[in-house]
Structure 1
Amino acid sequence: MGKSSKDKRDAYYRLAKEQGWRARSAFKLIQIDEQFNLFKDVTRVVDLCAAPGSWSQVLSRVLIKGEKFGRTAWEEQHQKEEAQIKAHLDNIAPPPASETKPEPPKKDVKIVAIDLQPMSPLEGITTLKADITHPSTVPLLLRALDPDAYDPSSTSASHPVDLVLSDGAPDVTGLHDLDIYIQSQLLWAALNLALCVLKPGGRFVAKIFRGKDVDLLYAQLKLVFKDVRVAKPRSSRASSVEAFVVCTHFSPPKGFQASLDTPLGAGRKLPIDPELAPQKAKSGRTVREDGITELELSEDEEELDEARWIAPFLACGDLSGFDADASYHLPKDRKTLDPIQPPTAPPYKRALEMRRAAGGAHGKTKGQG
């Protein structure tokens, strides 16, 4: 989380520090869960591109500690208040404190977080420093998920996971076409890892950049998931092209074998039987006497646009909540809070050290001028 004036006026930036989250992106996962109930019956999770750890923090506090946030927490608090009012009106003593104690930490939950950057430890989270685009990450992940039952010759988990998350994004360049392409490759790597560890019926949530040909991405995900939707949390800025694809009911084709060498089990081309391949009518081109060219399109080309499939788009979060694009006035009595978890190894650390050695901030140097 930054320190600019706009960041300080960002409601979610301030709420994240007040509520103890490592980054404002924690609210995105909470709001997606409110809409899709992601954490229902989930005990095994893989969090890709996890640093600085806000999504892993949500997983730890929800799945391990049993805490509730967002709409679920509000509904539970509302029910308690109604029960207290009813007990007061009926002159009934309120329930003893022992009945309202938080749930004990769950011990059967397994969460593995992976990132190229080092991440500070979290309770109940197994962290790995690895590159999700490299094939060597697969055995590391499988070993972390099942240390006792790990088989080096296997490319899939012996005990598959229920949910795979990916909030990764490249360092944007400002060239939108290039950024969207790099993001799609990062998503493709996350999907390939998910195919190795997800159980049938599992869920996959990942960040996407909405571009011109994003429907091709939806169609690829539709090959292995029965339900594919796109979510835009309230805490995600409307001015940003980011969204999150929510895939549920993982159902790989019969005989599917996960492999990074042949993504989706198909490599670069799908095998086609020549005898079963439909005969396509060729397009015609005729030049008239006046020099005008007439094109005769085949039926397949005319119906190409009609065959495109667009995933449903849903807005998540309370519409009466804070606007992520708005700058709210700061109260006069506000207190500046330190970040919950400063970056462990930021890429700009070396540049800051060089600047301090040269004379400090704002480009000033000692002994010059």
Structure 2
Amino acid sequence: MGKSSKDKRDIYYRKAKEEGYRARSAFKLLQIDDDYNIFEGVKRVVDLCAAPGSWSQALSRKIYGDGSDPDVKIVAVDIQEMAPLKGVVQIRGDITKLETALEITNQFDGKQADLVVSDGAPDVTGLHDIDFYGQSQLILAALNITTHILRPGGCFVAKMFKGNDMTLMYNQLRVFFRSVQFVKPKSSRNSSLEAFVLCQHYYPPTDFKPTMIDPVIDSYKELSKQSLSQVNEFIVPFIACGDLNGIDSFNFTT
């Protein structure tokens, strides 16, 4: 059965059409908020890899609302253009570039975000190990820019794929967040290996200095000698290392 036919049977596909959302994925973010209250007290939000904009649309409705709170600011970032949304400032930029991080903080008048979300994914090949690696690199890129724009105590949510190296991903993220959980909202199809990593209470290591790195560069030691502090020199090789241990991926919660 083709994808179109399957989508038309899907309750969240129909619900998105009825409620005017650009994609059914909006309900994934809304359900994460229902379960974990990630929108509570949030004024400044960044949506990375935002196009076509369903998550930005959910943020607009839930956080910006009628626009009565002048402190609420939502920034959507993508290299592609997307249709305008009420209360959402769009930035066409690459999340691996420092100028993109600086433009985001400029939109917040020099302040940092309370919440950073990312529903981005690379083009899938159907080869799970390759797709998991590609998605892991995208999460690393999102985490990298997040260290520049997220306030201490803030929250980070990103799409991920279930795989054997989730132990490594968990430990990478625990360097920066006091709580890391892998969650799967009910609107995410059971047949899909998609899940979401929910990172709460951002507290980077003492003396950590955010530095934009290219996640596909292998010579981290040489890079760290050029531009990173001793703290960064310790963390970056750790992020880049491999892990041969298999895990039951959804048992990680702190």
Tell me, yes or no, whether TM beats 0.5. yes
Give the Cα separation in 1 of the matches to 2:193 and 2:170: 16
| Aligned pairs (5 A) from 1:54-73 | 54-65=54-65
Shift of the 213–130 alpha-carbon distance from structure 1 to 2, 3 Å rule, reads: same
More helix, by proportion: 2
Which of residues 219, 232, 247 is equivalent to 1:265? 232
Give the Cα separation in 1 of the matches to 2:102 and 2:209: 16
Which of residues 168, 173, 180 is equivalent to 1:221? 173
Q: 1:312 corresponds to which residue?
A: 253
Q: 2:15 corresponds to which residue?
A: 15
Q: 1:210 corresponds to which residue?
A: 162
Q: 1:105 corresponds to which residue?
A: 68
Give the Cα separation in 2 of the matches to 1:245 and 1:255: 25
SS at match of 2:184: strand
Following TM superposition, by how much is the alpha carbon of 1:63 offset from its aligned partner in structure 2, in angstroms? 1.0
CA RMSD of aligned residues (A): 2.5
Following TM superposition, by how much is the alpha carbon of 1:136 offset from its aligned partner in structure 2, in angstroms? 3.7
Larger RCO: Structure 1 or Structure 2 (Cα < 8 Å, ≥ 6 residues apart)? 1
Following TM superposition, by how much is the alpha carbon of 1:119 offset from its aligned partner in structure 2, in angstroms? 0.9
Following TM superposition, by how much is the alpha carbon of 1:309 offset from its aligned partner in structure 2, in angstroms? 11
Q: 2:206 corresponds to which residue?
A: 254
**CA offsets 1:265-313 (integer angstroms, 9 cap, x no match):** 236437xxxxxxxxxxxxxxxxxxxxxxxxxxxxxxxxx999x995139
TM-score (structure 2 length as normaliser): 0.84
Letter matched to residue 201 of structure 2: H
Give the Cα separation in 1 of the matches to 2:3 and 2:190: 21
Structure 1 gaps, min length 5? 67-103, 147-157, 271-303, 314-369
**CA offsets 1:31-70 (integer angstroms, 9 cap, x no match):** 100110001110001000111111111111111116xxxx
Alpha carbons 2:183, 2:250 under 8 Å: kept: no
Q: 2:134 corresponds to which residue?
A: 182
Which of residues 93, 114, 135 is equivalent to 1:130? 93
Give the Cα separation in 2 of the matches to 1:169 and 1:111: 21
Q: How many residues align?
A: 230
Q: 1:84 corresponds to which residue?
A: none
User: After TM superposition, what 4+ stretches of structure 1 lie above 2 angstroms from structure 2?
Assistant: 133-146, 261-270
| Aligned pairs (5 A) from 1:120-199 | 120-146=83-109, 158-199=110-151
Give the Cα separation in 2 of the matches to 1:223 and 1:310: 18
TM-score (structure 1 length as normaliser): 0.58
Following TM superposition, by how much is the alpha carbon of 1:196 offset from its aligned partner in structure 2, in angstroms? 0.4
Alpha carbons 2:105, 2:111 under 8 Å: kept: no
Alpha carbons 2:182, 2:250 under 8 Å: kept: no
**CA offsets 1:315-369 (integer angstroms, 9 cap, x no match):** xxxxxxxxxxxxxxxxxxxxxxxxxxxxxxxxxxxxxxxxxxxxxxxxxxxxxxx
**CA offsets 1:249-276 (integer angstroms, 9 cap, x no match):** 1111111111113688236437xxxxxx
Give the Cα separation in 2 of the matches to 1:120 and 1:309: 36
Structure 2 gaps, min length 5? 214-223, 239-244
**CA offsets 1:164-191 (integer angstroms, 9 cap, x no match):** 0000001101111111111101110000
